[in-house]
Copies of this chain bind each other. A is one copy, B any other.
Amino acid sequence: MPVSPITLFFDFSSPYSYLASTQIEALAARHDRGIEWVPVLLGPVFAATGSRPLTQQPLKAEYSLLDLARTARFLGVPYRHPQPFPVATQQAARVTIALQQARSPLAVDWIHRVFEAYFVHGHDISAMPALHAVGAGLHLPPAQIDAWCADAQVKDRLRANVERALHAGMCGAPFFVVDDEPFWGVDRLPQLERWLQARF
């Protein structure tokens, strides 16, 4: 019986999603699972939960900056909190979707490189020049990237991703679903791994 992949709902502007993106592949490989990467937009999730970015909440703002830097050190990955933050990510998400629909092997590379452009190098990934630069590293022409961002069918798919995420109960990012079991947050990866091991 084929096993289902780990589904990962994420927003490119979510720091904890970036951190999770650096960990999930090794975890999935340890358990012979694939990963379904599902780009979404956190705005509708915040609207549904009545929440907003941690960095815009009193007390949690200061703590979250400390926690992000420390969690990155804990995981052993680079992190530099970007400015501006957060940024619009629908264009980066649309390119991801277009690559996925084309079954391009570059889709996962694109995801990692966009996250790194923002959370390691501080490039404003809401702006097309930053996305063109990421694309250049993958030999994707700027005109192709622009065309994908304007594609109505791709836009529809992004909206469908958001609907699917909310239907799955997404209340924050990153949000994982494994065999119908939901996990919210990079800090739940140890529980996700226990789930894969033992269905505890």
Contacts and interface: CB of A to CB of B under 8 A. Distances in A.
Interface of A: 45, 48-51, 57-60, 62-63, 66-67, 70-71, 73-74, 166, 169-172, 182, 184-185, 187-188, 190-191, 194, 200
Contacts of A62: 169
Contacts of A166: 59
B200 A63 contact: no
A21 to B, nearest CB: 19
Nearest to A195: B70
A191 B59 contact: no
A179 to B, nearest CB: 14
B67 A184 contact: yes
A184 B63 contact: yes
Contacts of A66: 182
A191 B57 contact: no
11 contacts: A48-B58, A49-B57, A49-B58, A49-B59, A57-B171, A63-B182, A63-B184, A74-B200, A185-B187, A187-B187, A190-B190
A101 to B, nearest CB: 28
A45 B60 CA distance: 11
A175 B131 CA distance: 39
Nearest to A185: B187
